[in-house]
Amino acid sequence: MLAEPIGRHRELDRVERELFLRSTIGRNLPSTRELAELMRDVAFEAGSTIYHEGDVAEEIFFVLRGTVALSKAGGVRHEYGPGSVIGIFDVEQDKPRARTALALTDVALLALSSEDRLELLEDSFEQTSAIIRMAAARLDEFARYGGGPLDPGVTLAPKPEPLLLIERVFTLRDTPAFRRASIQALVSLAPAADEVRLAAGERLFERGEARAVLFVVVAGCLELQRADGQRERFGAASLLGGGAAFGDALVRQSARALTSAVLLRIREEDFYDVMEDHFELARSLLAYLASEQERRLEEREEAASRGRAPPHEDARSAR
Amino acid sequence: MRSLLGRLVDVRAGEGQPAFQAGLTLFLLIGGHTVLETARDALFLAKLAPSRLTLVYGLIAALALLASPLCTALARRFGRRNALIALLLLAAYGTALFNVQPLGVPGVFALYAWSGLLGTLLLLQFWLFASELLTVAQGKRLYGAIAAGGVLGAVAGASSAAALLVRLRVQNLLLLGAACFLLAGLVLTTVWTEPLPVPKRSASASNSGQAGWRGAWQSAYDLFAQQPYVRRLAALVSLSSAALLATDYLFKASVTRHVPGAELGSFFAGYYALLNTASLLAQLFISGPLIRRLGVVPALAVLPALLVVGGGVTLFAGVSLGLVLGLKASDGTFRYSVHRVASELAEMPLSPRVQEQTKAYVDGPLPRVAQALTAGLLLALAAGGLASERIVAALATLLSLGWLWVVLRLSTPYLERLREALAKPAFDLRSWITELDLDSVEAVLEALSSTVPARVLGALDLLTDKGRVRLIPALVLYHEDESVILHALEIFGTSDRDDWLPHSERLLAHSSPAVRAAVLQALLRRGRHVALERGLDDPSPLVRAYALFWTLSLEQASEPLADARLQSLLALAGEPGEQAQLALLSAIRAAPHARWTEVLLALAARDTPQFERLAQAMGEIADARFVPLLLPRLGRREGRGAVREALVRLGDVALEALARAFDDPHTPERVRAHIPRTVSRFRSQAAADLLLDWLDSERPGGLRYKALRGLGRLIAEQRVRVDRERIDRQLRLNLLEYLRMLSLRQPLALRPEVARGGRSLRLVVGLIDDKLEQSLERAFRLLQIRHRHENLRSVYFASRSPERVRRAHALEFLDVLTAPGANSPLGQQVRQLVLLVVDDLSVADRLARASSFVPNQPSSYAATLQALVADHDETLAAFAAYHALEVGSAELAGVVVEALRERPALARASGNATLFPALAGVTHAG
């Protein structure tokens, strides 16, 4: 259900709206007007609810003016000012609203429906890849890549050599980043990958080597070591380095196999080529990146509530 | 019995009960009202002269005018079903009260007005409720059957009244009427409806203080002022009511003249019984199929067209009883069947709020007002001795003609309403700034002072786009952000302003080479050569390259490549070399000239890392020799956009080269894959023809899909001709593929969980789902090409919406849209397929209805796998084969082995990756 403004609908400052579009999301698009055609403007009075936790998420909102608070029952409240994007994580993951959005002051928003946004991205591949890189860079900032506390001993599974195509497709389908992609897309991606086999203890790459490449673990356990000495482990059906791997994160790491391991190495160029032909792959990846960012923010909130780190949210950010 | 009913009415799973309940409610409602009318007529005519009827008509019109908005307000407040229940209970109570009162003249007057008012309000509320219960698509199939309940109610009510009058007093019939209303209310309590999403009134509207009648009048005025479609409906309702009343008058006048008074009763009884039967038969056998076949609006034209033809014949041949009976028969047969159903359906695309208002201000009072006015006119004609049958026939024909004219002009607005129902609220482009007023300028200038670079850049763009470069203060060159300075210099350099020049000189010493190069470029564009020599000595190769470009351009060097300074710049290796090439290419792009062609060819031969800039420069000079250098670069992501742009600028020579490359078997697939989209950028008829040829060919599906997308994009941006028949052929193919895939999916999806092969089964089903999605998406893209001015994208989304009303609107829109194209066998087939694929049906139902299109649907799991293994799509066939082997059935293994013998490529499935673990073993086993 589209959000219905319940407050007095203020006539938005047209200049402000156009300036906003030109200086933010519309800047890299061929036509700001084209983007504007897809949006509607909504206004809410202070104290009114923009959407409730549990509502169907169909739109993302760009804050033009005013302050919006996002909170979930019993959780921390975050405030967002002009230039922020709200509701995007839910829309990307196609799930109900995780938080309630409340107008703290009179707010002016631009609303863009999920369908229209996807259509826009499908037609603008550069924009899509830029968003992916941006989300990856944001994940990189969290200094956690989503590795788990794996016991290397239980991650061993014999795999035929060479890997069967279907085995590759199964692995990709089980990998969270590609879980929502179409089978057709995975069937196209699977043969484009190279198979890498490592013995226990063998290096996959050293710092500075892993440029424009992605690794999907088929079997075994890999350890990623960051420049600050922190280590994370990745097991079967996981993307080495998590969502941050779509940026420059891997260049600054080194990786080695803790057990004998099988991986798929996918050149970034090949990945984007398949993505251009199969937009659902981009949708799947965007959903994964959104879920990862949300998870990191929640971990940070939890740590903050335990007094381990201060809660921090950029005023011009997305959630 | 069930199958007979099924043939008569297209009732689908889950629809039977609500349709029956609605039909039963209408049966009781009309039955009760008919009994009430019988008693009313008898009581009224026993005490008053028929001429007093005109007074009561006027009274009913006035009451309807007041009560209809109240009723719809009640529906909005408590829900449509509850409002109807409340009204039925009130009707029962009020009618019963008339039974216990002695009825004098005022009493019968009140009874007549009461029954007339109930007739208006109960039907209004019932159809409001029905439109909530059923969607427009369901209504087209089921309204006929529901309305048949009403006709049956009329028959049952009239005959019950006649039978009871043998034993009861007339006034006691009122109790039977009240009982019917009460029963109808009770039946309704068992019906569940999903309330329509009616947006709440905005705070400003509700607080405007326009309560009461003034508010109601304002609301009615707004409705007619803002809704042209509602105005047309109002004209239709008024003219049809007036025309039917005039026809009825003609009928009664003619019968009175030809039939002896003593036989009038039996004549009317017999004739009405005949009409009721005809109406019922029309309801059951004609109404639904006719509306489905013709569509809503053409069906609305049936009755007025018959009346015009009948009236015309009557006028020219002279009024005879036979002709008048024929006219009345048209009215009696189609008024409560085809016309009633089509009229209700015509209101379905209105938003729930507008629909309620239309019921309140149009359907409720307008017919009564029109009838009262027509009755007044007839009375006046009679008083003046002018009410001859010929004149009344002329009046009825004239009114019917007006009615028909209104209907014929309803098609486009009806489609427009459907479009609006499918569209979403969006940004109002009327408010997009075209001119800047003083307040706007103030706001933009304020933005230029922002410390946020993106905001300043946005303001710079806005002023440039609106042709207000002169408003950009030269002091923006003092901004601390480099991107702002660079953008401002680019704008100033291409403008006719000079006031920024004094502020630019300090930038020649800026720490950033990019800024120094930009200021040099901007100055040179404005004819300031003072900084040229300084630029040639700049430590940065970026700045030196710009300076050298302009030096050689000013010298008009015929062979710049022979210049030693340029050679040394191009010889630079690493980052300095890249910077020099970047600057040179940017400069050539900004001030293109044929003298630089050789330089560009030389840079291409060296495989410059700045290929994107090179392509941009090539696009500006547009020499045919660039084509073979640009084309292979389509296969590389980096700079692909610039390569496309350059090829487009090269025009026909590039288009021909692209066409050759697409057909050339030696062209790498990576390059070929990007040719269709590149061709679509040419925006020419030749490009459209090429894309259509590729789409309508035997090439792999992926390439044809790219051609389809390219053609769609081209058609959206450029007016080109496309052979509709070829598009229709593609549409048919994709829709058939959709149904075929659905028939293959069904037996797999119905299979219970299995111990072996579950994972591979999910993969096969997933692949089929992808193909279903693909074929549907392609079909909608083709429809968009076929109907370029429509927004088929929103119809596509609506057809997949979780909201049943939106899905129904999508179906109705497609029904109306594809009707004109269905005049050929291919067009008709396409229409049937589109509606079959989009219609709200269960998979089993859809497949059953598709049996003539997809005759050999597999019925078992094994048969489905056999069909899949033999499928022309190798990936699908290979995965199905893999799954068949996993299942472990000897029969299926044999099928797979045979398939692999005939199609060894299946073992690869995609690329060179192996699919099967031990193919040889499998072959042995077979």
pLDDT, tens digit, for every residue of B713-733?
A: 899 888 899 999 999 999 999
d(CA B698, CA B679): 19
Question: Quick one: pLDDT band at residue B215, thresholds 50, 70, 90?
Answer: low
What's the half-sphere exposure (Cβ side, CA atoms, 13 Å) at A23? 28
Whether the pLDDT of residue A1 is over 50: the answer is no
**B525 is written with which tokens?**
């564009």
Partner-chain residue, chosen from A16, A37, A188, that has the shortest CB–CB distance to B426 = A37
Three-class SS state of B410: coil
Whether the pLDDT of residue B128 is over 70: the answer is yes
| Residue B557 CB coordination number (10 Å) | 15
d(CA A25, CA A10): 23
Partner-chain residue, chosen from B426, B455, B916, that has the shortest CB–CB distance to A39 = B426
ipTM: 0.81
Partner-chain residue, chosen from A16, A115, A165, that has the shortest CB–CB distance to B797 = A115
Residues facing residue A256 across a β-bridge: A203, A223
- In chain B, which residues have their Cβ closer than 8 Å to the Cβ of A189? none
State residue B202's pLDDT score: 39
User: What value does the CA radius of gyration of chain A take, rounded to a whole number of Å?
Assistant: 21
What chain A residue is nearest to B880 in terms of C-alpha separation? A166
Angle CA(B2)–CA(B6)–CA(B11) in degrees, nearest 5? 115
Q: Which residue has the tokens 């994107």?
A: B612
- Across the interface, do A39 and B452 touch by the CB < 8 Å criterion? no
Alpha helices in B359-512 (DSSP H): 365-383, 389-408, 411-422, 438-448, 453-465, 482-493, 501-504
How do A203-205 and A254-257 pair as beta strands? antiparallel
Q: How far does B271 lie from chain A, in Å, by closest CA?
A: 53
Partner-chain residue, chosen from A8, A163, A169, that has the shortest CB–CB distance to B763 = A169
DSSP B76-94: HHH-HHHHHHHHHHHHHHH
d(CA A96, CA A51): 10
Whole-model pTM: value is 0.79
Strand arrangement, sheet containing A222-225: A203-205, A254-257, A222-225, A231-234
Residues 6 or more apart whose CB falls under 8 angstroms from that of B627 comprise: B647, B650, B653, B654, B657
Q: How far does B638 lie from chain A, in Å, by closest CA?
A: 9
Single-letter amino acid, residue B256: T
Question: Quick one: pLDDT band at residue B863, thresholds 50, 70, 90?
Answer: very high
Partner-chain residue, chosen from B436, B443, B766, that has the shortest CB–CB distance to A183 = B766
**B14 is written with which tokens?**
């889950």
Strand arrangement, sheet containing A194-198: A194-198, A261-267, A213-219, A238-239
How do A107-113 and A85-86 pair as beta strands? unpaired
State residue B22's pLDDT score: 92
What chain A residue is nearest to B759 in terms of C-alpha separation? A170
Q: How far does B784 lie from chain A, in Å, by closest CA?
A: 15
Residue pLDDT, tens place only, B511-560: 999 999 999 888 888 888 877 888 888 889 999 999 999 999 988 888 89
State residue B306's pLDDT score: 94
Residue pLDDT, tens place only, B303-318: 999 999 999 998 888 8
- In chain A, which residues have their Cβ closer than 8 Å to the Cβ of B803? none
Residue pLDDT, tens place only, B584-600: 999 999 889 999 999 99
Partner-chain residue, chosen from A1, A40, A163, that has the shortest CB–CB distance to B425 = A40
Residues 6 or more apart whose CB falls under 8 angstroms from that of A234 comprise: A147, A148, A150, A217, A221, A222, A223, A224, A240, A241
State residue B926's pLDDT score: 27
Whether the pLDDT of residue A156 is over 80: the answer is no
- In chain B, which residues have their Cβ closer than 8 Å to the Cβ of A218? none
Label residue B226 exposed, middle or buried (CB < 10 Å: 0-12, 13-18, 19+): exposed
- Across the interface, do A164 and B913 touch by the CB < 8 Å criterion? yes
Between B135 and A146, residue with greater pLDDT: B135
DSSP 8-class letter at A60: E
- Across the interface, do A20 and B458 touch by the CB < 8 Å criterion? yes
Residues facing residue A101 across a β-bridge: A51, A70
Whether the pLDDT of residue B113 is over 70: the answer is yes
Counting one residue from chain A and one from chain B, the pairs whose CB atoms sit within 8 A come to 138
Between B889 and B184, residue with greater pLDDT: B184
DSSP 8-class letter at A251: G
Interface test with A, best of B196, B434, B637, B896 (most A CBs within 10 A): B637
Between A227 and B410, residue with greater pLDDT: B410
Residue pLDDT, tens place only, A14-46: 667 777 777 766 555 555 666 666 788 888 999
Whether the pLDDT of residue B920 is over 70: the answer is no
- Across the interface, do B882 and A166 touch by the CB < 8 Å criterion? yes
State residue A312's pLDDT score: 46
Own/partner contacts of B504-511, CB < 8 Å, gap of 24 or more, are B504/B477, B505/B531, B507/B477, B508/B534, B510/B485
Interface test with B, best of A4, A14, A19, A31 (most B CBs within 10 A): A19
Q: Which residue has the tokens 């990958």?
A: A193
CA-closest candidate to residue B817, choices B149, B296, B302: B296
- Across the interface, do B455 and A113 touch by the CB < 8 Å criterion? no
d(CA B915, CA B907): 5
State residue A3's pLDDT score: 45
Question: Quick one: pLDDT band at residue A77, thresholds 50, 70, 90?
Answer: confident
Interface test with B, best of A94, A113, A171, A184 (most B CBs within 10 A): A184
Strand arrangement, sheet containing A59-65: A39-44, A107-113, A59-65, A85-86
- In chain B, which residues have their Cβ closer than 8 Å to the Cβ of A9? 202, 204
CA-closest candidate to residue B223, choices B367, B403, B347: B347
Interface test with A, best of B424, B671, B675, B761 (most A CBs within 10 A): B424
Percent with pLDDT over 70 in chain B: 91
| Residue A151 CB coordination number (10 Å) | 12
- Across the interface, do A187 and B915 touch by the CB < 8 Å criterion? no
Percent with pLDDT over 90 in chain B: 35
CA-closest candidate to residue B11, choices B579, B841, B885: B841
d(CA A135, CA B443): 32
- In chain B, which residues have their Cβ closer than 8 Å to the Cβ of A184? 767, 770-771, 774, 875
d(CA B306, CA B301): 9
Q: Where are the beta strands (DSSP E) in chain A?
A: 39-44, 49-51, 59-65, 68-71, 78-80, 85-86, 100-103, 107-113, 194-198, 203-205, 213-219, 222-225, 231-234, 238-239, 254-257, 261-267
Question: Quick one: pLDDT band at residue B908, thresholds 50, 70, 90?
Answer: low
Are B794 and B424 a contacting pair, CB within 8 Å? yes
Residues facing residue A103 across a β-bridge: A68
CA-closest candidate to residue B892, choices B871, B865, B923: B865
d(CA A30, CA A123): 11
Distance of CA B614 to the CA centre of its chain: 44
- Across the interface, do B443 and A15 touch by the CB < 8 Å criterion? yes
CA-closest candidate to residue B338, choices B294, B293, B302: B302
Alpha helices in B651-700 (DSSP H): 652-663, 669-672, 675-680, 685-695
Q: What backbone torsions phi and psi does residue A109 show, to the nearest 5 degrees?
A: -130, 155
Mean pLDDT over the full length of chain B = 85
d(CA B153, CA B141): 20
Q: Cis (ω within 30 of 0) for the bond into A162?
A: yes
Q: Which residue has the tokens 């006048």?
A: B253
- Across the interface, do B910 and A188 touch by the CB < 8 Å criterion? yes
- In chain A, which residues have their Cβ closer than 8 Å to the Cβ of B429? 33, 36-37
Q: How far does B377 lie from chain A, in Å, by closest CA?
A: 49
What chain A residue is nearest to B882 in terms of C-alpha separation? A166
d(CA A223, CA A254): 8
Q: How far does A257 lie from chain B, in Å, by closest CA?
A: 25
**B802 is written with which tokens?**
């979780």
Q: How far does B547 lie from chain A, in Å, by closest CA?
A: 30
CA-closest candidate to residue B328, choices B404, B258, B276, B402: B276
- In chain B, which residues have their Cβ closer than 8 Å to the Cβ of A21? 458
- In chain B, which residues have their Cβ closer than 8 Å to the Cβ of A14? 431-433, 440
- In chain A, which residues have their Cβ closer than 8 Å to the Cβ of B447? 19, 23
- In chain A, which residues have their Cβ closer than 8 Å to the Cβ of B909? 165-166, 187
Label residue B445 exposed, middle or buried (CB < 10 Å: 0-12, 13-18, 19+): middle
Compute CA distances A172 → A249, A291, B82, whole Å. Answer: 21, 18, 54
Partner-chain residue, chosen from B200, B424, B436, that has the shortest CB–CB distance to A113 = B424
Are B689 and B723 a contacting pair, CB within 8 Å? no
| Residue B530 CB coordination number (10 Å) | 10
d(CA A300, CA A293): 10
Are B663 and B633 a contacting pair, CB within 8 Å? no
- Across the interface, do A165 and B432 touch by the CB < 8 Å criterion? no
- Across the interface, do B767 and A183 touch by the CB < 8 Å criterion? yes
d(CA B693, CA B729): 13
Whether the pLDDT of residue B878 is over 60: the answer is yes
Q: How far does A254 lie from chain B, in Å, by closest CA?
A: 27
**B4 is written with which tokens?**
């007979």
Mean pLDDT over B789-795 rounds to 87
Please, what is the angle between helix B724-749 and helix B758-786, to 10°?
A: 160
- Across the interface, do B458 and A272 touch by the CB < 8 Å criterion? no
d(CA A18, CA B444): 10
Residues 6 or more apart whose CB falls under 8 angstroms from that of B322 comprise: none
Q: How far does A268 lie from chain B, in Å, by closest CA?
A: 11
